[in-house]
């Protein structure tokens, strides 16, 4: 979700409709209250109690560093205006790439020229020509022209208006046209004959001459307005491609509008008449937003702008507008504007608030599965930049903004919203476990009361906890690996996309990632390493599903007076065998397994199946396929639920790779399939798995991460064997091909730091695809240990896997490609910690070592 939030904050905005700023001498002529309301006159006095105004005061006061009162904000803005070099205006327009300026408002001498605004934006601003203003200026010119007759006035008006529009069509500084017929006579634009127009225009001009008028401001006659709009559309239709868009004010406006005639639905006959004229429905058509979304979705030439509601609506209203437009309308038909005018603060508030609204709405869609993060990022780029860039023919490159904008949005509420939504579904949760696994694969956590978590998220983007940097250099007994110190601190940030109930009543668990105090990622963080690996794979067109088989051995404590400080075979497991029904007869065992299933289901983890495995008290739980990061988070949460429920039955659940010397070992097999379209291609998935096989000896340092792991790695016992090999449906090979790109990795157990292990596997496979790694290994159809020399040569099965952990660590140390993929610092830290761990374990006796692992894994 951080990737999406970053996109929302750093995608530049093409403001496709706004108005000029006031020159300093005109500031006193217009009320600053207008920044949050369309009201005028006495009606404006009540604006200070509106939600939009209250919110604006709060936001502006925070930026200006003043009290959160309107009076304090007004005084602070006056001081900001005194700063040299337009500093305040530049700050207010930060993040806007360019403005398409409608400079047709009255008071032309009181505002800056459209091109003046270039100094405030990264790219040069362009003009939108308001057609009514063109017509009104022509009429005013005719009124002041010597010797004009009524007949000549009619002829000159038509010709001059046509010439002005044609000139604008050819002018590269003009990128579109706009009509405010919504204000004049309503959006039900019909057609009329030339005769009707001549009669109406003569009547208007006669009245003006009789009144000896020298100025003219407004055409209120319906037929004339219809003619202006239709004539403009005719000229755009007949112009060369690309055709310049025609904007229409719809919906929201001051009391000069007849609201019932401002719905864009009334434009439908006009839209049908001009199917090749691009039409932009401005201002979210509020309150007719759904109508705008419908029209934009069913007519190829219609686009929906969702501006002006920022900042004129409440926060909830703005979010509703985004949801309503996206109910039906494709994102590539949606564009955005500030409708900024007069005061730079109108731009500032609009930009801040639209980013905040998207930070709420789009992550919700992602969490609900309505869109992926990549699709949500595309929606942001469409609305903020691409749609306008293409529609108006601007040809601007999309250059992300700096991540250090001086105008900051409010703290990201996505995490707060995620937690509150979760708590609405699970109201009995009292505590949140923020978890991580270190380089010894020890699960560690901090417990935060829910009330505290909500309090923190009210005023901060993320729930973060200070954790010593030594946490990624600790051994299982809390001693530091050589070279580590207790100085420095990370922030452990809760990643709320992973939140789930459990592992017991009243608790929820969420995975954490380490961050530096400035917010940057920590290179050594295991979960971040896997996330970055997945992002790199996605950039190369590779997407995956990942599923795990969890094997667990359940042990009992001996009954007194025997030594209770040890473990014995599971009581009630007599006659236990692979897939046997007898393994599900004991009432206590069955009750524990049922409770495990129920708790997993409550956490949204729905097992594919489960059954008895080969070792005494051993069961296998098969998880559903998920995208990789979610799959690993789910695996860790499932293990916690299983071990916690087992403990409540006075049973020990262990991942020990070889708990009984004469019985099958315990693995954590991983299934991978490539789900992107190219994944079906043999040359792609074989190159992926060839990359894994190429680096498998070094990968083993992550997947078989403990000396005990190698007690399980034996030939002839369905454990993946000891050779670098693969085979279709062959459980004696390290990689088992199941079907197409769906393969199983068998050489992995529960003592691995699964984030690091999967990062090593996926990065090696991705590199294999990039290098078009040839599959030099043949499809091995029997136990590789039983192959003769000729068979080995023919199949390419010539290299054995490391036989112990020391050899695996050396292989990792020597694999320059894998070191580069994961990062030298990561590999060095891992080897440093594992060698210290190995030295600690080596001093133990056999039983002590056995007990040490069972107590911790």
Which domains does the chain possess?
A: 2-391 (3.20.20.140), 414-522 (3.10.20.70), 534-543+675-842 (3.30.590.10), 547-671 (3.30.590.10)
What is the reported pLDDT for 360?
87
What pLDDT is attached to residue 263? 94
pLDDT in tens, 450-480: 999 988 887 778 899 999 999 999 999 888 9
C-alpha distance from residue 574 to each of 577, 582, 595 (Å): 9, 8, 22
Write a three-state SS string for 533-551: HHHHHHHCCCCEEEEEEEE
Burial of 367 (0-12, 13-18, 19+ CB in 10 A): middle
Instruction: Retrieve residue 800's tokens.
Output: 């054995």
Q: How far is CA 166 from the centre of its chain?
A: 44
User: How far apart are the C-alpha atoms of 228 and 246, rounded to whole Å?
Assistant: 12
CB 610 within 8 A of CB 590: no
First to last CA, the chain: 31
pLDDT of residue 403: 52
Q: pLDDT at position 378, please?
A: 94
Give one DSSP letter per residue of 14-48, joined into a string: EEEEE-PBBPGGGGGGS-GGGGG----GGGGGGGG
Query: Among 430-434, 445-449, 539-543, 692-696, whose mean pLDDT is lowest?
Result: 539-543
245 contacts 392 by C-beta, under 8 angstroms: yes
Dump pLDDT digits (tens) for 12-27.
Answer: 999 999 999 988 888 8
Angle (nearest 5°) at CA 662 between 659 and 663: 60
Residues 6+ apart with CB under 8 A from 170: none
Res 193: pLDDT: 87
Q: What is the signed CA dihedral for 267, 272, 277, 278, rounded to 10 degrees?
A: 60
* 189-237 tens-digit pLDDT: 999 888 888 888 889 888 888 888 888 888 989 999 999 999 999 999 9
Residue 409 has pLDDT above 50, yes or no: no
- pLDDT cut 70: percent of the chain above it: 98
| Strand 544-556 to 618-622 pairing | antiparallel
Query: Is residue 833 a contact partner of residue 848, using CB atoms and an 8 Å limit?
Result: no
Residues 6+ apart with CB under 8 A from 436: 443, 444, 445, 471, 492, 511, 512, 513, 514, 525, 526, 527
Q: Is the peptide bond before 265 cis (omega within 30 degrees of 0)?
A: no
365-382: average pLDDT: 90
Mean pLDDT across the chain = 90
The tens digit of pLDDT for each residue in 621-652 reads 999 999 999 999 999 999 999 999 999 999 99
Q: What is the token pair recorded at 155? A: 């002829």
Looking at residue 589, what is its pLDDT? 93
Residue 561 Cα distances to 444, 565, 647, angstroms: 33, 11, 21
pLDDT of 246 strictly over 90: yes
State if pTM tops 0.95.
no
pLDDT for res 557: 86
Q: Which two tokens stand for residue 83?
A: 């700063």
Q: Quote the distance between the C-alpha of residue 544 and its chain's center.
A: 18
Sign of torsion over alpha carbons 195, 196, 198, 199: positive
Q: Which residues contact 142 (CB under 8 A, 6 or more apart)?
A: 148, 153, 156, 157, 205
**Two tokens, residue 841:** 């374990």
What is the C-alpha to C-alpha distance for residues 328 and 331, in angstroms, rounded to an integer? 9
Contact present, 357 and 315 (Cβ < 8 Å): yes
Is 90 exceeded by the pLDDT of residue 143? no
């Amino acid at each position: 979700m951080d990737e999406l939030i970053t996109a929302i904050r750093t995608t530049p905005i093409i403001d496709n409709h706004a108005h000029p700023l006031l020159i300093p001498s005109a500031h006193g002529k217009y009320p600053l209250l207008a920044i949050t309301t369309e009201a005028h006159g006495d009606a404006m006095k009540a604006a200070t109690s509106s939600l939009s105004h209250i919110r604006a005061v709060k936001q502006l006061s925070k930026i200006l560093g003043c009290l959160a009162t309107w009076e304090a904000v007004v005084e602070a803005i006056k001081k900001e205006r005194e700063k040299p070099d337009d500093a305040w205006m530049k700050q207010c327009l930060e993040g806007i790439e360019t403005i398409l300026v409608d400079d047709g408002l009255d008071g032309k001498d009181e505002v800056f020229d459209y091109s003046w605004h270039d100094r405030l934006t990264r790219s040069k601003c362009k003009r939108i020509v308001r057609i009514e203003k063109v017509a009104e200026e022509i009429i005013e010119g005719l009124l002041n022209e010597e010797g004009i007759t009524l007949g000549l006035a009619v002829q000159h008006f038509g010709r001059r208006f046509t010439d002005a529009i044609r000139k604008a069509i050819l002018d590269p500084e003009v990128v579109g046209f706009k009509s405010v017929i919504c204000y004049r006579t309503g959006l039900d634009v019909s057609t009329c004959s030339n005769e009707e127009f001549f009669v109406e225009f003569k009547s208007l001009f006669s009245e003006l001459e009789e009144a000896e008028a020298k100025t003219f401001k407004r055409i209120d006659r319906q037929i004339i307005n219809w003619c202006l709009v239709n004539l403009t559309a005719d000229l755009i239709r007949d112009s060369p491609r690309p055709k310049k868009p025609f904007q229409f004010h719809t919906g929201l406006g001051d009391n000069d509008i007849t609201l019932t005639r401002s719905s864009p639905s009334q434009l439908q006959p006009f839209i049908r008449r001009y199917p090749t004229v691009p039409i932009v429905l401005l201002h979210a058509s509020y309150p007719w937003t759904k109508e705008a979304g419908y029209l934009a979705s069913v007519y190829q030439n219609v686009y929906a702008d969702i501006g002006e509601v920022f900042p004129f609506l409440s926060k909830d209203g703005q979010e509703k507008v985004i949801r309503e437009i996206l109910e039906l309308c494709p994102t590539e038909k949606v564009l955005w504007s500030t409708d900024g005018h007069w005061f730079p603060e109108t731009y500032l508030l609009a930009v801040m608030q639209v980013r905040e609204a998207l930070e709420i709405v789009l992550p919700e869609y992602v969490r609900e599965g309505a869109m992926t993060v990549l699709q949500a990022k595309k929606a942001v780029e469409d609305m903020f930049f691409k749609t306008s860039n293409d529609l108006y023919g601007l040809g601007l490159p999309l250059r992300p903004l700096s991540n250090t904008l001086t105008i900051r949005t409010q703290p990201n509420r996505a995490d707060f919203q995620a937690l509150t939504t979760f708590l609405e579904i699970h109201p009995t949760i009292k505590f949140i476990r923020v978890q991580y696994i270190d380089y010894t694969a020890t699960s560690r956590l901090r417990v935060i009361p829910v009330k505290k978590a909500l309090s923190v998220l009210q005023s901060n983007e993320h729930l973060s906890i200070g954790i010593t940097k030594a946490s990624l250099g600790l051994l299982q007994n809390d001693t530091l690996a050589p070279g580590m110190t207790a100085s420095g601190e990370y922030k452990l940030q809760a990643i709320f996309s992973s939140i789930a109930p459990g592992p017991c009543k009243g608790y929820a668990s969420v995975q954490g990632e380490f961050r530096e105090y400035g917010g940057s990622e920590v290179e050594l963080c295991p979960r971040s390493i896997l996330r970055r690996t997945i992002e790199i794979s996605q950039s190369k067109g590779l997407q995956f599903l990942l599923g795990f088989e969890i094997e667990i051995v359940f042990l009992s404590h001996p009954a007194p007076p025997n030594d209770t400080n040890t473990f014995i075979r599971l009581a009630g497991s007599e006659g236990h065998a692979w897939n046997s029904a007898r393994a599900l007869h004991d009432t206590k065992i069955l009750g524990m397994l049922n409770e495990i299933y129920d708790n997993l289901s409550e956490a949204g983890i729905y097992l594919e199946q489960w059954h008895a495995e080969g070792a005494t008290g051993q069961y296998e739980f098969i998880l559903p396929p998920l995208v990789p990061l979610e799959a690993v988070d789910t695996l860790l949460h499932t293990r916690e639920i299983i071990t916690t429920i087992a403990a409540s039955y006075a049973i020990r659940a262990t991942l020990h790779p070889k708990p009984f010397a004469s019985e099958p070992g315990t693995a954590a097999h991983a299934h991978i399939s490539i789900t992107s379209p190219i994944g079906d291609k043999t040359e792609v998935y074989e190159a992926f798995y060839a990359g894994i096989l190429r680096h498998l000896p070094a990968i083993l340092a992550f997947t078989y991460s403990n000396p005990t792991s190698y007690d399980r790695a034996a030939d002839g016992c369905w454990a993946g064997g000891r050779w670098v090999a693969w085979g279709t449906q062959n459980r004696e090979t390290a990689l088992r091909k199941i079907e197409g790109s769906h393969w199983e990795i068998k050489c992995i157990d529960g003592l691995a730091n699964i984030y690091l292990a999967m990062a090593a596997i996926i990065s090696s496979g991705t590199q294999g695809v990039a290098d078009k790694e040839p599959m030099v290994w043949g499809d091995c159809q029997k136990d590789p240990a039983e192959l003769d020399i000729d068979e080995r040569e023919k199949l390419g099965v010539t290299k054995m896997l490391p036989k112990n952990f020391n050899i695996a660590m050396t292989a990792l140390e020597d694999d320059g490609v894998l070191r580069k993929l994961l990062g030298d610092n990561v590999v060095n830290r891992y080897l440093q910690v594992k060698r210290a761990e190995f030295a600690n374990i080596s001093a133990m006796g056999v039983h002590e070592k056995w007990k040490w692992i069972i107590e911790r894994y």
